[in-house]
Amino acid sequence: MPTLRALCSVPLLLALLGPGTTPLPREPHLTPAASYLPRLVAMGGAPTAAFLARRASSAPYDTFRSTGPNIRRADRFRAGSITKTFVATVVLQLAGEGRLRLSDPVDRLLPGLIRGNGNDGRRITLHALLDHTSGLPDYTAVTPAHPAPAGARAAPVSAADAVRLALTRRPTDVPGGYAYSNTNYAVLGLVIRRVTGHDYADEIRRRVITPLRLTGTSLPGARTALPPPHGRGFTRDPVDGALHEVTALDPRTAGAAGELISTLDDLNRFYAALLGGRLLIPTQLAALLDTTATHGLYGLGVYPQRLSCGVTVWGHNGHITGSHVRTVATRGGGHVLTYRVDTDSLAGTEELERGLLDAEFCARAPTG
């Protein structure tokens, strides 16, 4: 599972709410996780927190809850490493179209890019980039892990620069081969451009955002401001614990590893469509969920979490300056939840997330 520091087509609306379908009930229905949400503020130290849960079968519901001021369902926010699932979806679609193979070595598509200090693109496949078994060092270990606030003097790190920074270190040697690295997805962004002739952001818009009508989702490039409506993002000073606003920032350092902006509704819609087989053909969907190479830790741009009741959910988290977000869905996409806080400094994140997900996916939903 990614560490906190490392953390970044058929329209779903028609598929889920087709002709003659009754919309899912909204407020005042409570999901089982509603009573857990305040702990993200009280125990985690987040200024505000919110989640959106949706279940399409057996006591269906579609419910938003928030705690703290100025956090709304329609808000745009930075989604960090959830970007990786979008990038992986495009790569898998290209594989399904026969335009690349996951077994291709990086050097076949980007000759000479990865060479040095024991790193060798001739021995690293696209599959190894997707599931973080490439051994490529994480460029965020060399440059700041998160983008700088807008107006900072530091220049943004391009994808090619990120790779060069990573190659100043030797490959990561981890038993079992899995080592989460943002560099993998910086390279995949370059692969998409090489294969399609278009930037990865353009391909994500064309293949995912537009077909699914993700109207609150964007890849900002050099734009430092969040599109309206949006709240604010905060980071906590490690010395005195004070919160500082970091809403505006240059996301180009995050790039294909973490620049995405989205909303609660859009992320739920995306993961429901992805896990429901609406974006990938069966062969590619099976590859997405295959964790064999990582011994159950990570698929291709998604990772599983087995809950206390035996249910396994799939998704990703995103951790970027001023924001932390997590989306998970059951296999098939029938039950999905996204939660977010407006800080990158949430305390006890793993424990709080486990409790929230257990409450949502394991407890019996109320009927009123």
pTM of the model: 0.89
Residues near 259 by beta carbon (within 8 Å), at least 6 away in sequence: 83, 201, 219, 220, 221, 251, 252
Q: Which of 9, 58, 81, 181 is catalytic?
A: 81
Residue 149 reports pLDDT greater than 70: no
Q: Is 111 within the bounds of a domain?
A: yes
- The per-residue pLDDT for 367 is 37
Percent of the chain with pLDDT over 70: 86
Query: Is 323 an annotated catalytic residue?
Result: no
Q: Is 7 within the bounds of a domain?
A: no
CA-CA distances (angstroms) from residue 79 to 238, 263, 278? 22, 8, 22
More confident residue, 5 or 12: 5
CA atoms 119, 122, 123, 127: torsion sign: positive
Domain count within the chain: 1
The enclosing domain of 94 has a CATH number of 3.40.710.10
pLDDT tens digits along 267-326: 999 999 999 999 999 999 999 999 999 999 999 999 999 999 999 999 999 999 999 999
pLDDT band (50, 70, 90) for residue 87: very high
Alpha-carbon span 365 to 33, nearest angstrom? 9
- The per-residue pLDDT for 238 is 84
Q: Which of 25-34, 136-145, 181-190 shows the highest mean pLDDT?
A: 181-190
Question: What is the chain's mean pLDDT, rounded?
Answer: 87
Closest CA to 6 of 112, 71, 61, 83: 83
pLDDT tens digits along 18-29: 333 335 555 445
Instruction: Check if the beta carbon of residue 45 is closer than 8 Å to that of residue 242.
Output: no
Q: Which residue has the tokens 């599972």?
A: 1
Q: Is 268 within the bounds of a domain?
A: yes
More confident residue, 18 or 237: 237
Q: Is 47 within the bounds of a domain?
A: yes
3-state SS, residue 64 = strand
Angle in degrees, 0-180, between the axes of helices 182-196 and 159-166, rounded to the nearest 10? 140
What residues make up the domain containing 230? 12-361
Q: Is 140 within the bounds of a domain?
A: yes
Q: Is 6 within the bounds of a domain?
A: no
Q: Is 273 within the bounds of a domain?
A: yes
Instruction: Check if the beta carbon of residue 270 is closer than 8 Å to that of residue 328.
Output: no
The answer to which of 38-47, 149-158, 341-350 has the lowest mean pLDDT is: 149-158
Q: Is 1 within the bounds of a domain?
A: no
